[in-house]
Amino acid sequence: MNDLLKGKKGIIFGALDEKSMAWKVAEKAYEQGAIFTLSNTPVALRFGQLDELAKKTNSTIIPADATNIADLYDVFEKSMEILGGKVDFVLHSIGMSLNVRKKIPYPELNYDYYKKTLDISAISFHKILQVAYKLDAVNEWGSILALSYIAAQRTLYRYNDMADAKALLESIARSFGYIYGREKKVRVNTISQSPTMTTAGSGVAGIDSLIDFTERMSPLGNADAVDLADYTVTLFSDLTRKVTMQNLFHDGGFSSMGMSLRAMHQYNKSLEVDFPG
Amino acid sequence: MNDLLKGKKGIIFGALDEKSMAWKVAEKAYEQGAIFTLSNTPVALRFGQLDELAKKTNSTIIPADATNIADLYDVFEKSMEILGGKVDFVLHSIGMSLNVRKKIPYPELNYDYYKKTLDISAISFHKILQVAYKLDAVNEWGSILALSYIAAQRTLYRYNDMADAKALLESIARSFGYIYGREKKVRVNTISQSPTMTTAGSGVAGIDSLIDFTERMSPLGNADAVDLADYTVTLFSDLTRKVTMQNLFHDGGFSSMGMSLRAMHQYNKSLEVDFPG
Amino acid sequence: MNDLLKGKKGIIFGALDEKSMAWKVAEKAYEQGAIFTLSNTPVALRFGQLDELAKKTNSTIIPADATNIADLYDVFEKSMEILGGKVDFVLHSIGMSLNVRKKIPYPELNYDYYKKTLDISAISFHKILQVAYKLDAVNEWGSILALSYIAAQRTLYRYNDMADAKALLESIARSFGYIYGREKKVRVNTISQSPTMTTAGSGVAGIDSLIDFTERMSPLGNADAVDLADYTVTLFSDLTRKVTMQNLFHDGGFSSMGMSLRAMHQYNKSLEVDFPG
Amino acid sequence: MNDLLKGKKGIIFGALDEKSMAWKVAEKAYEQGAIFTLSNTPVALRFGQLDELAKKTNSTIIPADATNIADLYDVFEKSMEILGGKVDFVLHSIGMSLNVRKKIPYPELNYDYYKKTLDISAISFHKILQVAYKLDAVNEWGSILALSYIAAQRTLYRYNDMADAKALLESIARSFGYIYGREKKVRVNTISQSPTMTTAGSGVAGIDSLIDFTERMSPLGNADAVDLADYTVTLFSDLTRKVTMQNLFHDGGFSSMGMSLRAMHQYNKSLEVDFPG
C-alpha cells in the first residue's frame, strides 16, 4: 500500500455488511493508513456486521440516524474526540426509499414516503455538511464524498424516486461545495457508481438484468465496490485537492456510451426470438 | 397571430401580476387561440392582479395551494368542466424559499423551510402531474412545462436552496416524463430561463448586477418574460411533439458561454480600479 | 398551417430524396409560407430527386460543394438575388464519412478520409457561417440550424468518425453562435435527432436493430423526419428568438433515458435465450 | 512520496519548460516511481529546456512531430526498447493554433490554419492512440490522458478555434476510449484544467484578467500545474482503473459555478465606475 491516507482522519457513514460500498472504502482507507469512525443507524447495526469491520479496521462505531441533527453532532464531536482532532474526510453512503421497497410506481408516489426518501438519501448529506461546518470539524483541504448514481441524469424504470433523491444529492454537493470551498477550502463531490450488487441493491427487482446490460455496455465492465474503494482513496488523498463540486462517473465508461457492440449483439438475439423464420 | 394553439385547452399555474412569466404566457396563449384556466394561491390572488388577466383572456380563476392534493384535484376537475374536456397543456411557474426570504445562508439552512422550499417549488410539480395522470386529464400529445433556472446545474451565490429545488424539479420532469410519455404520449419538459425581473425576483438582493452580468455574457442578451411566452407557445403546440424529458435553455446563449468580450470588458474596469497607477 | 414562416426567406442544404430530413423541412417550411433555395452537390443532384422538390416548393436549386468557399458565395449571392434580399434561415443537413462507407474501424482510421469527414460534415458548417457572415446575408434574428446526433456525447459502435464530426459541428455552432449573436443577433443551434432511416442512413450496417432499441427506449418513440420538420419550423420562426448556442435533443426522450421497461423487457428475452432451462 | 507509479512506464508528450503542465507531470511521475520517455517537436526541443528535465528525471528524449505517424511509431518503439516493455501511461499535452497566434477572428478563420489547429491539437491524439493500439504498446489497465479546457463546452471569446479543437479532442477520447477499453482494457480520459499561465498560454491576450476572474469564481481558486500533476498521478495509478471516457474537470470548482460572491463583488466595482452618482 501507498500510505496515501497516512495521518488522515475520517468518518464513514453507511457500512452495513461486507458487500457494502462503504465497507470496502473502510478497508481500503485503513490499508492506506487512515483512522476513522464508523456510523450507521441502530437498526443497521443490529442487522449488519459492523462490529467485525470495526475490529478489523481498529475503529469505533457511533450509532446515528443521519436525518437527526443531534445524532450528527454526536458523531462529529465523538469522532474528533476519539480521533484526536478534526477530520479530513467523510463518506456518505446512505439511501433508502419506501416507495421502491413497497413497489409503489412513480406516478402514484406516496408523498410521506417520498419526503422520507429525500430526507434520508439527500437531505441527510446537507445535515452532515451543516453539522461539520458549524463545528468546524473538517481540516483545510478535507474531502467530503457522497455516492450517487446515473439515475440523477437519466431515467431508469424502477429506480423510481431514488432518481430524484440522487439529483437532489448532487445539487447539495454543488451548493455546499461552493460555500465549503470558499470558506474552509474543503471539497465536496459525488461519485456516480456503476450499479453494484449490495445487500440493499439486491432487493431491487430486475437488477440482475440491468447489471448484465451495463456490464456489456461498459468497455471496462461495471465498477465494483472494491474498484470504488480504490477510487475513493484517491479522492480523499492530497493529490486531488482542486477537484470540487463535481459528479464523477466511476462506471467503466457506461455514462459515455450510446450503444456498444456487445450490448447490441446480445439485444439482437432477442430480436431473432421475436422475428423467427 | 398564428393560431398555433387553436382548439387547445390548458391550465396555467403561477401568474401573479403583469410582470409574471406565467402572465405573459397566458396572454400569448390567448392570442394563439388557446382557452385555459388560471390558478394561484388564495394569498397570491389577494395581492396580485389576476382578475385583470382573467378578464383579458376570458378565463376562470381556480384558487389552489399547489402542495395540496385535494386542491389540485379541484383545479383539474373544474378546468375540464369549464373548458369542456381534457387539457392539452399545463404550465408550472411556482417557486418560493423562506430561507431566501429570511436571508438564511445555505450552510445554515432551516430544514423546515428547506422542506417547504422543495415542497412548493418542486414536489408541487409531481403532485400536479400525479393528479393529472390519475384523472387522465391530459390529451394524447399534451405538453406539460415547468420553469427552471440554470442554478440547477451551476451554483450562484445567494440563490441558496432554490438551486436544489430546481435540480429536483428538473429530475421530476425527467422521471415523470418517462412514465407519462410511455403511457399517455404526454410530454414533460422544463425551460431554464434567463434571470427575469419579476415581482418575486425583484426581492432578491443583488439581482440587478447579476442581470447586468448575464446580459453582457449572453450574445443575444437575456430572454425576458415576453420572449419566454413566445417560446412556451411553441412547446405547447403540435410542432414539438417529440421533445420530452428535456431541460431547454432559453437564455440568449448564456448557458453556453464561458466568457464574453462585453462581460470581460466590464470586469476589466473593476481591475483598473483595483490596481490603479 | 399557421403562416409561421410567412415572409421568411431561407436556404436549405442537403435534401436528396423524399426520405431526407432536409426534404421534409423544405416541405414544411413551404407550407408555413417560407420561400427558399435548395442546395446540394452536383453528384447528389444527379442521383437524387431534387427537381421534384424544387417544383413542389416553387424553389430554385443552386448546386454547390459545401466545402468550397467559392461555391458557397455563389449559393448565398444567388439566393439573395432570387429571394429578393437577405435570408432568415439556413439549414445544414450534410454529413458523410468514407471511413464508415469503407468499414474502416475507428482505431484504424484513414486520416485522409477522417479529414474529409470533418471537412464535409462539420467544417462545411463553419464555411457556410463564414460566407453568410462576410456577405452579411442573414437578417437580424435569423436562425441557422445544423442537424446533429447524440453520438457527439455518447459513443455508439459503428458510428465511427461521424461521432467526432458531430462533436466538432456542435462546437462550431457554439463558437460561431456567440459571434453571430453578439454582432448580428443571429442565432445558431443544432438539433440532435433520433436515428432516422434516410437513404444515407440505410447504408449503415445494423441500423435496424439500433432503431428498434432506441424506439423502445424512448417514451414517445423515435422522432421521424416529419416530426423534425415540424420542430425545425418552430426554430426558424420568430417565437424562439432567444434560443442560441444550444444542442436541442429531438428524440422522443431517448437522451434522458438510462433504461426503459420496454427495452429491458426485450433485452431480457435475449438472456432467456442465453441461459435456457 | 507514495510509490503510486512504482514499476510503471510511460510517455509524456508536450513538456517545453518548467512552466509546462507536462513538465510538472513528469516531475511528479518521477517522484512516484515511474520511468518514462519525453517527446516534443524538434523546434520545441531547441527553444525549451527539455534536457534539464530529462536529466532530472533520468529519462530519454525522443523528438517527434505528433502529427506524423512515422515519428509516432518511432516514439513508441524506442520507448518500449528504452523502458524495457510496454508502457502503462501516456500524456498528451499538445495544442497550437495559428489563428490564435495571428489574431484571426473566429468568423474569419483561415481554413488551412484551422485544419492545422485540429491536426496538431486533436487529431494528433488519435494518431498517438492509433499507433499505440496497432503496436499493442500499452499494458492492460494502462491509462492515456489528454489535457483539455472548458472551452470545449462553453465559448470564451478569444479562445477561438482552440475551442473546436478541444471539443474534437474530447470526442476522440470517448470514441477511442470505447474501443481501447473493450479490446485492451486501456482507459482514455481528458482533464479539463483551469486556465494555466504557461509559456504557451502567456501569449494569449487578456489571459491575465480571465485568470483573475476564474480565480474569484472558483471556490478553491484555479488549479495550477503542480495541482494538475498530482491529479494526473492518481489517474495514471491503479486506483482509478474503472474511470474511462470521461472529461474530468480539475478547476477548483469553476465548471460548476454560475456566479460567486467574490467575482460578483469585483464585477460590481466596475458598475460603480460606470454609473457614478
Q: CB contact, 8 Å: A26 with chain B? A: no
Q: What is the pLDDT confidence band of residue C119, given thresholds at 50, 70 and 90?
A: very high
B50/A contact by beta carbon, under 8 A: no
pLDDT at B34 (0 to 100):
98
pLDDT of A204: 64
With 80 as the cut, is the pLDDT of residue D201 above it? no
DSSP state of B120: I
- Which positions in chain C touch B216 (Cβ < 8 Å)? none
Lowest-confidence pick of A125-134, A268-277, B247-256, D109-118: A268-277
DSSP 8-class letter at B195? P
* pLDDT given at position D272: 67
CB contact under 8 A, D176 and C245: no
The mean pLDDT of A152-181, rounded to a whole number, is: 97
Grid cell digits, residue B215: 446580459
In the structure, what pLDDT confidence band is assigned to residue C49 with cuts at 50, 70 and 90? very high
- At D276 the pLDDT is 35
* pLDDT given at position B260: 95
Closest CA to A2 of D6, D89, D228, D25: D6
Asked if B159 reaches chain C (Cβ–Cβ under 8 Å), the answer is: no
Please report whether residue A4 resides in a domain.
Answer: no
Query: Which residues in C256-274 are b (16+ Cβ under 10 Å) and which e?
Result: bbbbbbbbbebbbbbbeee
pLDDT of residue B275 exceeding 50: no
DSSP 8-state class, residue B6: T
Quote the percentage of chain D above a pLDDT of 70.
96
Q: Are C209 and A268 in contact (CB under 8 A)?
A: yes
pLDDT grade, residue A193 (50/70/90)? Answer: very high
Task: Flag if C251 and B242 touch (Cβ within 8 Å).
Answer: yes
- DSSP annotation of D260: -
Of A19-33, B101-115, B198-212, C168-182, give the lowest mean pLDDT range: B198-212
Is B220's CB within 8 Å of C244's CB?
Answer: yes
Cβ <8 Å between B266 and D269: no
Q: Which of B53, B56, B60 is nearest to B77 (CA)?
A: B60
Give the DSSP per-residue string, chain C: ---TTTT-EEEEE---STT-HHHHHHHHHHHTT-EEEEE--HHHHHHS-HHHHHHHTT-EE----TT-HHHHHHHHHHHHHHHTS-EEEEEE-----HHHHTT--GGG--HHHHHHHHIIIIIHHHHHHHHHHHTT-EEEEEEEEEEE-GGGTSEETTTTHHHHHHHHHHHHHHHHHHHHHHHH--EEEEEEEPP---TTGGGSTTHHHHHHHHHHHSTT----HHHHHHHHHHHHSGGGTT--S-EEEESTTGGGEEE-HHHHHHHHHHHHHHS--
Q: What pLDDT is recorded for position B273?
A: 45
The beta-strand segments (E) located in D84-199 are 87-92, 138-148, 155-156, 187-193
| pLDDT, tens digit (0-9, with 9 covering 90-100), for A11-49 | 999 999 999 999 999 999 999 999 999 999 999 999 889
Rounded to the nearest integer, the mean pLDDT of chain B is 95
How many CB atoms sit inside 10 A of residue D110's CB?
Answer: 14
Residue C55 lies inside a defined structural domain of this protein: yes
ipTM of the complex: 0.96
Rounded CA-CA distance B5/C228 in Å is: 19
Model confidence at A55: pLDDT above 50: yes
Domain membership of residue B2 (yes or no) is no
Q: In what order do the strands lie in the sheet with D35-39?
A: D60-61, D35-39, D9-13, D87-92, D138-148, D187-193, D247-250
The whole-angstrom separation of Cα C89 and Cα C235 is 9
How many residues does the structure list for chain B? 277
Where residue D273 falls among pLDDT bands split at 50, 70, 90?
A: very low
Closest residue to A155, CB basis, from B115, B133, B178: B178
- Flag whether residue C133 sits within 8 Å of chain D, measured between CB atoms: yes
pLDDT at residue D199 above 50? yes
Residue A209 near chain C (CB below 8 Å): yes
Least confident of C220-234, D40-54, D223-237: D40-54
**Cβ-contact D14, D43 below 8 angstroms:** no
Contact C188, C176 (CB under 8 A): yes
Residue pLDDT, tens place only, B207-245: 888 999 999 999 999 999 999 999 999 999 999 999 999
Cβ pair B19, B198 in contact under 8 A: yes
Decide if A205 contacts A217 (C-beta within 8 A).
no
Q: Given pLDDT bands bounded at 50, 70 and 90, which one contains residue D197?
A: confident
Question: Structural domain of residue D84, as residue ranges?
Answer: 9-271
Q: Which of B179-188, C265-274, D82-91 has the lowest average pLDDT?
A: C265-274
**Beta carbons of A130 and B107 less than 8 Å apart:** yes
Share above pLDDT 90 across residues of chain A, in percent, rounded to a whole number: 90
| A228: in domain | yes
**Residue C205's CB: how many other CB atoms inside 10 A?**
10
Taking the Cβ of residue A257 and every Cβ of chain C, the question of whether any pair is shorter than 8 Å is answered with: yes
CB C240 within 8 A of CB C234: yes
C223 touches chain D (CB under 8 A): no
Cell numbers found for residue D267: 464585477
Average pLDDT over residues C51-71: 98
Report the alpha-carbon distance of residue A277 to residue A267 in Å, rounded. Answer: 18
- Minimal Cα–Cα distance from D17 to chain C, Å? 31
Check whether B200 has a pLDDT greater than 80: no
Chains that touch C (3 or more CB pairs under 8 A): A, B, D
Within 13 Å of residue A120, how many CA atoms lie on the same side as its CB?
A: 19
Q: What mean pLDDT is predicted for residues C211-234?
A: 97
Interchain proximity A267–C209, CB inside 8 Å? yes
Is the pLDDT score of C226 beyond 60?
yes
Q: Of C239, D126, A13, D240, whose CA–CA distance to B236 is shortest?
A: C239
Residue D48's pLDDT is what?
83
Length of chain C: 277
The single-letter code of the amino acid at A168 is: L
- A51 inside domain: yes
pLDDT at D277 over 60: no
Q: Is A227 part of the contact surface with chain D (CB cutoff 8 Å)?
A: yes
Sign of CA dihedral C224, C230, C236, C238: negative
- Mean pLDDT for B134-158 is 97
Lookup result for grid cell 465511427: C160
Partner residue facing B257 (CB), from D155, D256, D271: D155
* List of residues 6+ apart from B30 with CB closer than 8 A: B36, B56, B57, B58, B59
Whether the per-residue pLDDT at B171 is higher than 80: the answer is: yes
- What are B176's three cell numbers? 415523470
Q: Please check whether residue A152 touches D, CB under 8 A.
A: no
Q: Does the residue C166 lie in any domain?
A: yes
pLDDT at position A116, please? Answer: 98
Would you state the cell numbers that stand for residue C167, as one nine-digit string?
Answer: 462533436
Answer yes or no: are the C-beta atoms of D33 and D2 closer than 8 Å: no
**Model confidence at C273: pLDDT above 80:** no
Mean pLDDT of chain D, nearest integer: 95
Share of chain D above pLDDT 90, in %: 90
A212 within 8 A of C272, measured Cβ to Cβ: no
Taking the Cβ of residue A2 and every Cβ of chain D, the question of whether any pair is shorter than 8 Å is answered with yes
Contact criterion met (CB < 8 Å) for D264 and B151: no
pLDDT score for A274: 44
Q: What pLDDT sits at residue B209?
A: 87
Residues 6 or more apart from B54 whose CB is under 8 A from it? B38, B60, B61
Check D220 against A242: CB less than 8 A apart.
Answer: yes
Decide if C210 and A264 are in contact by the 8 Å CB cutoff. Answer: yes
Three-state SS string over D168-197 comes to: HHHHHHHHHHHHHHHHHCCEEEEEEECCCC
Q: Check residue D253 and give its pLDDT.
A: 98
Joined grid coordinates for residue A27: 478497508
Of C113 and D196, more confident: C113
Report field, pTM of the whole predicted structure over 0.95: yes
Whether residue C156 and residue A258 make contact (CB cut-off 8 A), yes or no, is: yes
Is residue A107 less than 8 Å (CB to CB) from chain C?
Answer: no
Whether residue C106 and residue D175 make contact (CB cut-off 8 A), yes or no, is: yes
A216 contact D CB<8A: no
Beta bridge partners of C13: C39, C92
Across the range B190-216, mean pLDDT stands at 85
pLDDT score, position A203: 61
Whether C155 sits inside 8 A of D175 (CB atoms) is yes
**Cα–Cα distance measured from residue D10 to residue D144, given in angstroms and rounded to the nearest whole number:** 9
Mean of the per-residue pLDDT values of chain A: 95
Residue B158 touches partner A, C-beta closer than 8 Å: no
Sign of CA dihedral D29, A189, B107, A90: negative
Question: What are chain A's partners, defined as 3 or more CB pairs within 8 angstroms?
Answer: B, C, D
- The span from the CA of C169 to the CA of C183, in Å, is 21
Q: Percent helix, strand and coil across chain B, each rounded to 5?
A: 50, 15, 30
* Contact across the interface for A268 and C157, Cβ inside 8 Å: no
Domains held by chain D: number: 1
Q: Please compute the mean of the pLDDT values over residues D15-23 and round it to a whole number.
A: 96
Q: pLDDT confidence of C203, banded at 50, 70, 90?
A: low
Query: Which of D213, D256, D269 has its CB closest to that of B155?
Result: D256
Q: What is the mean pLDDT of residues A225-250?
A: 98
Confidence of residue B272 (pLDDT cuts 50, 70, 90): low
Can you tell me the distance from the alpha carbon of C265 to that of C253, in angstroms, rounded to the nearest whole number? 18
Task: Determine the Cα–Cα distance for residues B71 and B79; give it in Å rounded to an integer.
Answer: 12
pLDDT exceeds cutoff 80 at A103: yes
Question: How many CB atoms neighbour CB D215 within 10 A?
Answer: 17
- 3-class secondary structure per residue, chain A: CCCCCCCCEEEEECCCCCCCHHHHHHHHHHHCCCEEEEECCHHHHHHCCHHHHHHHHCCEECCCCCCCHHHHHHHHHHHHHHHCCCEEEEEECCCCCHHHHCCCCHHHCCHHHHHHHHHHHHHHHHHHHHHHHHCCCEEEEEEEEEEECHHHCCEECCCCHHHHHHHHHHHHHHHHHHHHHHHHCCEEEEEEECCCCCCCHHHCCCHHHHHHHHHHHCCCCCCCHHHHHHHHHHHHCHHHCCCCCCEEEECCCHHHEEECHHHHHHHHHHHHHHCCC
Q: How far is D256 from chain B (nearest CA, A)?
A: 5
Residue B48 falls within a domain, yes or no? yes
Strands C60-61 and C87-92: unpaired
Q: Of D118, D128, D130, give the one whose Cα is nearest residue D168.
A: D118
Please report, for the domain that includes residue C194, its CATH number.
3.40.50.720
The answer, yes or no, to whether residue C107 has pLDDT greater than 70, is yes
Asked if residue A277 belongs to a domain, the reply is: no
**Closest Cα partner for C197 from C214, C180, C219, C182?**
C214
B178 Cβ under 8 Å from any chain A Cβ: yes
**Cβ burial, residue D77 (10 Å; 0-12/13-18/19+):** middle
Average pLDDT value over all residues in chain C: 95
Task: Work out the burial of residue D23: count CB atoms within 10 Å of its CB; fewer than 13 is exposed, 13-18 middle, 19 or more buried.
Answer: buried
Chain C partners within 8 Å of A159 (Cβ): 258
Residue B242: closest C-alpha in chain C: C252
- DSSP-derived letter for residue D21 is H
User: How confident is the model at residue A128, as a pLDDT?
Assistant: 98
Task: Say if strands D257-259 and B155-156 run parallel, antiparallel, or are unpaired.
Answer: parallel
